[in-house]
Amino acid sequence: MTEKFKAVVINNENEKFSRDIKDLEIADLKDGNVLVKVDYSSLNYKDALILNNGGKIVRNFPFVPGIDFSGTVVESEDSKFKKNDNVILTGFRVGEAYFGGFSQFAKVDSNFLIKIPKDLDSKKSMMLGTAGFTALLCSFAVKAKEELLLGAKVKDVLVTGATGGVGSIAIMILSKMGYDVHAATGKKDKNEYLKNLGAKNILDRKEFEGESKLLEKGIWDGVVDTVGGSALTKIFAQTKPGGIVAACGNAGGIKINTNVMPFIIRGVKLWGIDSSGSSLKRREFVWNEAAKLVDFSKIQSFTKELSFNELFGTYPKLLNGEFFGRAIVNPNK
Ligand SMILES: NC(=O)c1ccc[n+]([C@@H]2O[C@H](COP(=O)([O-])OP(=O)(O)OC[C@H]3O[C@@H](n4cnc5c(N)ncnc54)[C@H](OP(=O)(O)O)[C@@H]3O)[C@@H](O)[C@H]2O)c1
């Protein structure tokens, strides 16, 4: 194939950062053994950091960002995939170290791809994207308290960064799992939105600021934390015996300050989530559960479909905390 296609290209020539829509050729895609025609990508917090200035994540320029995509196989050197297979890619450092999904075509390692489950399609899979996949991983981590670890049944689950991509989808999934979801947010005008997703109770994120005792009254059976930082001190202290804190994010800071008491007196578990490094088996399991746990008409109601140009106008809002919900990127728009 010699035809040209469009892609977002970031560059950092002479310390001057740039982002443009450029024409590339298939020969410009140097990595991988499966060529995919991209239908959709999605905008995640990490993408916003990278689009802004490389986020100290991308080291080699010029570069095509986009940490996830869905699409159709055009050519494959691996017999696991054939032409016209519908595939999903999230993580594996695509969009960070390997050219990513903000492009009409992408070429990746066959070991990074899974086939789209039959209940999903290209658009639905990126309405979930890395954020949705991460929300699923976090929700199954919380569920492990009653399932894998055979502990007491999960009832009350806290979700922080509730109006974000991961938070919003986690609320939906956890309420579908039958749990009472408590949504912590900094946005005072989003109560209706959060209730509509399935939140039973809305908390101001300020409630987790300030001094915490070593142990406080146990409230949470599980926590999906997308925020990190100082709020975790109180969250650990408020987690019930055997409770699981699934920590995936750092939107509120990278440092945590805690003590051993929640862990050795109550057996609280801190379960780190790295969606990018999940095994293919775990990916297949989780993506196959998605359609049962997610109401796509609801996600559609808070999903914006962006062209590359619109992507450039939207990522700063995500970084400034002025965007909520999901944004999918259509490279053909
Ligand atoms: N570990 C993984 O595999 C993985 C995968 C995907 C994402 N992540 C991480 O998870 C986090 C959430 O991702 P996302 O895509 O959902 O991002 P997002 O859509 O930007 O949502 C982040 C949310 O965090 C809250 N927030 C923002 N700034 C904050 C601050 N200074 N203090 C406290 N809360 C703040 C806001 O929610 P409210 O206004 O409602 O409070 C915001 O909507 C990010 O840190 C991202 O890098 C990790």
Task: Kindly give the distance from the C-alpha atom of residue 315 to the centroid of ligand 1, in angstroms, as a whole number.
Answer: 13
Give the residue among 209, 181, 206 at the shortest CA–CA distance from 195.
181
The model's pTM: 0.95
234-249 pLDDT, tens digit per residue, is: 999 999 999 999 999 9
Task: Kindly give the distance from the C-alpha atom of residue 143 to the centroid of ligand 1, in angstroms, as a whole number.
Answer: 21
52-83 pLDDT, tens digit per residue, is: 999 999 999 999 999 999 999 999 999 999 99
Asked whether residue 232 carries a pLDDT value surpassing 90, the answer given is yes
Give all domains of the chain, ordered by start, each with its CATH number.
4-116+302-329 (3.90.180.10), 132-275 (3.40.50.720)
Peptide bond into 62 cis (omega under 30): yes
Write the residue with the smallest CA distance to atom 42 of ligand 1.
Answer: 164
Give the residue among 138, 122, 162, 136 at the shortest CA–CA distance from 42.
122
Residues with CB under 6 A from ligand 1: 44-46, 130-131, 134, 161-167, 185-187, 205, 226-227, 248-252, 273-276, 318, 321, 324
Give the residue among 31, 153, 35, 21 at the shortest CA–CA distance from 95.
31
Res. 1 pLDDT band, cuts 50 70 90: low
140-166 pLDDT, tens digit per residue, is: 999 999 998 888 999 999 999 999 889
Using a pLDDT cut of 70, give the percent of the chain over it. Answer: 99
Using a pLDDT cut of 90, give the percent of the chain over it. Answer: 90
